[in-house]
Structure 1
Amino acid sequence: MTHHYLTLEGVSYVLPDGTTLFHDLNEQFDHRPTGMVGRNGAGKTVLARILSGALQPTTGHCQRSGAVHYLAQQIAQPDNATLAGLAGMQSTLDALKRIEAGSTEIADFDALGDRWDIEQQLQTELERNGLGHLDAMTPANRLSGGEAMRVTLIGALLSNTDFLILDEPTNHLDRPNRIALIEQLKRWPRGLLVISHDRQLLDAMERIVELSSLGLRSYGGNYSFYEQSKQQEREGAIKQLDHLKAERRREEQNLRDQREKLEKRQASGNRTAKQANQAKILLGRQKNRSEGSAGKLQQQQSAARELLSQRVFEAEQQLEENTEIALHQLPVSNISHKRIAELDNVELPFVSGATRFVSISLTGQQRLGLVGPNGYGKSTLLKILSGQLQPLSGTCKMFTEGVYLDQQLSNLDPEQTVLEQIRLANPVMPEGDLRMRLAQLGLDLSKITVASGTLSGGEGLKAALACVLYADPPAQLLMLDEPSNHLDLPSLNALEAMLRSYQGALVVVSHDDRFMDNIGLTNRLIATNQGWQFEQV
């Protein structure tokens, strides 16, 4: 079997504003299933586009030994697109239809190749993935976010490409479809690169590469191995840096001691010479010798300091230029016995089946996770609680105001800067404090003073989170719909820690099992074919 590869040779990329995103990357991606990780804004998507041939590097080269299929994390759905177009198969199916209608054009046969059963393959995969109610001509704008992602993944896996690059493929996928995708990728026989923050998916990879300020580093194992290796690597680098700094302090003290001893000898010699009434010419020679010794010592000490500083600098370069991601605790007053919401036989719009009706009561510091397959009404229920939608029937009583973050980040105005929007959300806190909190989320001045619509997916989510979490007054009820999508792993850890310490009521929709396990839920409301099932955690 032929193994295909992608090779980076001295690849660099400079943004239009002159910022270097990454520099002199050298790496080969082979037949091993590989996961790529890195901070939001590190350039993972740009690098994926370079690897696929969709974007040219500023300097360097990318070599490809075969065809590459790249699946972007943002799914474009033109108004007139069909399901086949979303799957990347429209031109192939159109060529097949023209041939069946009598076309003898060489271009049509080239477009089709040997894929005479492509339409049957597509329908078979749709049925196998629980999408049998759809077909090739279904309008793409009728699909939910999860359905659209599954269709694009089906198209990618049917592409017969030599190398598959997937950018955040599990975003919007429910738990069963995440597991199904992982199993499908385990069976993928050719080159595979997955850019993801999904720890379960990354654990299915054979190696992890990390894109950071240090460049690309390869770790020969899955995510758990990478995480352990990364921790050991960082601890070792910190220990070495501390050792060299301590050595520099000791050497600098030795240099100061040497200089003080020389100065004392010079002063003592000068006093002795004057007392002995030595001739002026002899005194001058002694002074010159003394000054020469001092100058020589100064040169030696300067060289020694430079060497020590260089060793410390080199050790510092082994530490990634990462600012720790932090989220501040929200100062929510004690509401442990307060009623939050009551839903009595509420009928959800746009939902069919047993989960169409729901009755729940939320109190105090209850922390509720909404879980279950796509299309069962989880996001709709959140919109009812937040007042974005009205129930078709039944009663919904809210006893406190909450804040709501949806998957589309609707609370962000793409035309306004992040700084403008967070100041509107919290006009009380000094601007300097707001800037500091954004910086602690990894959003520096260059990110918060441009239109938020220009930010990457992860950066946009951080900005939206900041506007929701740091609003004044602080929310007594947080409603979050897939808040872990797009977040890099350090930011995800920070969000988990903040939510664990949050003292208000919490309702979260997520398909990320580890995230849900890590935020301290008190209850789960599970959407099933038999209806909503409420359980203690």
Structure 2
Amino acid sequence: MSHSPAFVSCSSLSFGWPDGTPVFDGFQLSVGPGRTGLIGLNGSGKSTLLKLLAGELTPGEGKLSIAGTTGHLPQNITLDTALRVDEALGVRATRTALHAIEAGEATEANFAAVGDDWDVEERALATLDQLGLARIGLDRTVGELSGGEAVLLKLAALLLARPDVLLLDEPTNNLDLRARRRLYAAVESWSGVMIVVSHDRELLERVDQIADLREGEVRWYGGNFTDYEEMLAAEQETAERLVRVAEADVQRQKRELADAQVKLARRKRYGQKMSDNKREPKIVMNARKRAAQESAGKHRIMHTEKLSRAKERLDQAEGAVRDDDRIRIELPATQVPAGRRVLTLNNLCLAHGTRVRGEWELRGPERIALVGRNGSGKTTLLRTIAGALDPVSGEAVTHVPARFLPQRLDVLDESRSVAENVARFAPQATDNLIRARLAHFLFRGARADRPAGTLSGGERFRAALAALLLAEPAPQLLMLDEPTNNLDLASVRQLTDALESYEGALVVAGHDVPFLESIGITRWLLLDGELRPTTAQEVRETLWHT
């Protein structure tokens, strides 16, 4: 890294998509050394901002300045499977020249290729070891690595390059608990500028400040995610109190306006009565009438303005209260009686050698957490139960209607609208019924007509979940594979809300232990060659701290 302080700065930055959809307009940002957690709702522009900072997108207007070099770990990583590990790390040419010099080819070109990087192999191997990848070496190909290992390999390449500014977009997606622990350690040891987009609470506990991106602006909160939640809760309590005060003021101004109008009406009737009885000279009565009209006008304007200002204060107070929509649904048809047999696995043998010996059963509305390292076979087991894969031997039998939501959310037809996608799973339901149900999943009005291909990550997940939960017959066994991947924190809360309403049996494969604990898991299962019972505490100890 360079010795001068690195920083990131955006001034009056504007960016929009080719179809005219605006993302930023006059955006301001300034980030110095330290670890910054960038959070916000799905679709708020977090990933877009990182791509702008990385130079992968060009702003329409404004100024973007970065002091120092930049490294970017995108959310979806694609590496050429034929690449060697040292190529992916960016050290192949230096390493080749170094080996040539050691073999006696002391050419000027080889010395130029090595430069001052004589310890390139040691640094590369040390970086791989830091991230738990020491066993893969430098000569294997990317195609031999798991998805989680590919993420860590890309991070290793960035750490080797030693950029001044490191941009990480959902880096813990697809990582098992051991790999996450390695990544957390790398984050904690970072001394330059880091901006990390994540929904992973454990990761956000390790940042120095939180940047909350909302409606095109950033609000700053010092400290980690727990500090952020405490400060936000205090802010919201104050905002809600101000709303109550503003509501009371509006009601008071309405009463005062009504009282003033009654008084003015009485004066008008009194003046009219005096005029009718002709008890005063005409010139006096006309003067009194003009004065009354002027007074009435002034009172009306004064009280109307007071009411208007009170309403403005209420609008401002309400604007400070966050009203992130929450999913509110009832799913009685998904109910499974206690003790009813839901799923049976008999001497099941999967591809890659994973086994379930003897007979294993799931009964009643149990909530199963399926955990294990990357590559342990969790997805394979769920796909086999769902009927998408055949077992090598044995059988998996579901005794109730079942649905499976894969990581890639490919249950949706990209070209169809949200409502049309749900209709595919519930062909007997009327359009009005489908739209009424979708409103509970926050797809109201025209939102239900949006094509699935245009949805953000969180919206896409909600649409896929709605399609499965509203299916006919209603699923009494629901299987979810890494459901919190690519979801922002608000969407994770929405998923938790939806699962609170679900009354059937649930099997969730994942590495997000805090999320699994939040949805009321009744049984924990570890898949490590075989399927065996475990506990949340054991999961943390065996897959986290070892």
TM-score (norm 2): 0.88
List aligned pairs for 1:430-445, cutoff 5 A.
430-435=430-435, 437-438=437-438, 440-443=440-443
Task: Give the number of equivalent residue pairs.
Answer: 528
Q: Deviations over 1:305-353 (max 9, x none)?
A: 33222222222332346333445445323332222222222111024xx
User: What is the CA-CA distance between 1:500 and the residue it aligns to?
Assistant: 4.1
User: What is the CA-CA distance between 1:244 and the residue it aligns to?
Assistant: 0.9
User: What is the CA-CA distance between 1:98 and the residue it aligns to?
Assistant: 6.4
Equivalent pair of 1:370/1:508 in contact (CA under 8 Å) = yes
Question: Are 1:483 and 2:458 matched, yes or no?
Answer: no
Question: Are 1:304 and 2:303 matched, yes or no?
Answer: no
SS state of the match for residue 408, structure 2?
Answer: coil
Equivalent pair of 1:462/1:487 in contact (CA under 8 Å) = no
Q: 1 CA distance for matches of 2:172 and 2:76? A: 12
Residue aligning to 1:498 = 498
Residue aligning to 1:9 = 11
SS state of the match for residue 267, structure 2?
Answer: helix
2:352 to 327, 350, 353: 350
Q: 1 CA distance for matches of 2:11 and 2:331? A: 45
List aligned pairs for 1:46-65, cutoff 5 A.
46-65=48-67
User: What is the CA-CA distance between 1:129 and the residue it aligns to?
Assistant: 4.0
| Distance change in 2, residues 1:410/1:330 (3 Å) | farther
1:265 corresponds to which letter in structure 2? R
User: What is the CA-CA distance between 1:164 and the residue it aligns to?
Assistant: 0.6
Equivalent pair of 1:213/1:320 in contact (CA under 8 Å) = no
Equivalent pair of 1:330/1:469 in contact (CA under 8 Å) = no
Residue aligning to 1:460 = 460
Residue aligning to 2:532 = 533
Equivalent pair of 1:79/1:141 in contact (CA under 8 Å) = yes
User: What is the CA-CA distance between 1:268 and the residue it aligns to?
Assistant: 0.8
Residue aligning to 1:174 = 176
Residue aligning to 2:261 = 259
Equivalent pair of 1:82/1:136 in contact (CA under 8 Å) = yes
Equivalent pair of 2:339/2:363 in contact (CA under 8 Å) = yes
Residue aligning to 2:33 = 31
SS state of the match for residue 387, structure 1?
Answer: coil
Q: Deviations over 1:213-251 (max 9, x none)?
A: 272111111111111211221121121022112102101
Residue aligning to 1:406 = 406
SS state of the match for residue 152, structure 2?
Answer: helix
Residue aligning to 1:220 = 222
Residue aligning to 1:422 = 422
Equivalent pair of 2:324/2:490 in contact (CA under 8 Å) = no
Equivalent pair of 1:500/1:518 in contact (CA under 8 Å) = no
List aligned pairs for 1:118-133, cutoff 5 A.
118-127=120-129, 129-132=131-134
Q: 2 CA distance for matches of 1:145 and 1:439? A: 36
Structure 1 window deviating more from structure 2 (155-164 vs 287-296): it is 287-296
User: What is the CA-CA distance between 1:501 and the residue it aligns to?
Assistant: 4.6
1:235 corresponds to which letter in structure 2? E
1:162 to 164, 169, 194: 164
User: What is the CA-CA distance between 1:471 and the residue it aligns to?
Assistant: 1.5
List aligned pairs for 1:13-162, cutoff 5 A.
13-78=15-80, 81-84=83-86, 87=88, 89-90=89-90, 92-94=91-93, 97=96, 100=100, 114-127=116-129, 129-132=131-134, 134-136=136-138, 138-162=140-164
User: What is the CA-CA distance between 1:430 and the residue it aligns to?
Assistant: 4.1
Unaligned ranges ≥5, structure 1 = none
1:520 corresponds to which letter in structure 2? G
List aligned pairs for 1:251-400, cutoff 5 A.
251-320=253-322, 322-326=324-328, 328-329=330-331, 331-351=333-353, 355-359=354-358, 360-400=360-400
Identical residues among aligned pairs (%): 32
2:486 corresponds to which letter in structure 1? H
| Distance change in 2, residues 1:332/1:251 (3 Å) | same
Question: Are 1:524 and 2:524 matched, yes or no?
Answer: yes
Structure 1 window deviating more from structure 2 (457-466 vs 15-24): it is 15-24
1:413 corresponds to which letter in structure 2? D
SS state of the match for residue 173, structure 1?
Answer: coil
SS state of the match for residue 388, structure 2?
Answer: coil
Unaligned ranges ≥5, structure 2 = 537-546
| Distance change in 2, residues 1:125/1:309 (3 Å) | same
Equivalent pair of 2:256/2:303 in contact (CA under 8 Å) = no
TM-score (norm 1): 0.89
Q: 1 CA distance for matches of 2:108 and 2:410? A: 50
Residue aligning to 1:511 = 511
User: What is the CA-CA distance between 1:124 and the residue it aligns to?
Assistant: 4.2
Q: 1 CA distance for matches of 2:289 and 2:156? A: 87
Residue aligning to 2:542 = none
Q: 2 CA distance for matches of 1:49 and 1:289? A: 67
Question: Are 1:246 and 2:248 matched, yes or no?
Answer: yes
Equivalent pair of 1:13/1:20 in contact (CA under 8 Å) = yes
Q: 2 CA distance for matches of 1:437 and 1:191? A: 45
1:199 to 198, 201, 205: 201
Q: 2 CA distance for matches of 1:222 and 1:146? A: 25
Equivalent pair of 1:11/1:58 in contact (CA under 8 Å) = yes
1:297 corresponds to which letter in structure 2? H
Q: Deviations over 1:41-69 (max 9, x none)?
A: 11111111122232233333221111111
User: What is the CA-CA distance between 1:447 and the residue it aligns to?
Assistant: 5.8
Q: 2 CA distance for matches of 1:418 and 1:324? A: 18
Equivalent pair of 1:356/1:377 in contact (CA under 8 Å) = no
Structure 1 window deviating more from structure 2 (476-485 vs 486-495): it is 486-495
Q: 1 CA distance for matches of 2:487 and 2:432? A: 25
Q: 2 CA distance for matches of 1:488 and 1:519? A: 17
2:378 corresponds to which letter in structure 1? K
Q: 1 CA distance for matches of 2:349 and 2:52? A: 48
| Distance change in 2, residues 1:426/1:192 (3 Å) | same
| Distance change in 2, residues 1:135/1:466 (3 Å) | farther
Q: 2 CA distance for matches of 1:292 and 1:406? A: 72
Q: 2 CA distance for matches of 1:80 and 1:417? A: 38
Q: 2 CA distance for matches of 1:421 and 1:393? A: 35
1:232 corresponds to which letter in structure 2? A
Residue aligning to 2:539 = none
Q: 1 CA distance for matches of 2:331 and 2:162? A: 49
Q: 2 CA distance for matches of 1:433 and 1:152? A: 47
Q: 2 CA distance for matches of 1:463 and 1:506? A: 19
SS state of the match for residue 161, structure 2?
Answer: coil
Q: Deviations over 1:394-440 (max 9, x none)?
A: 23333223111111222123333333211211234443454455455
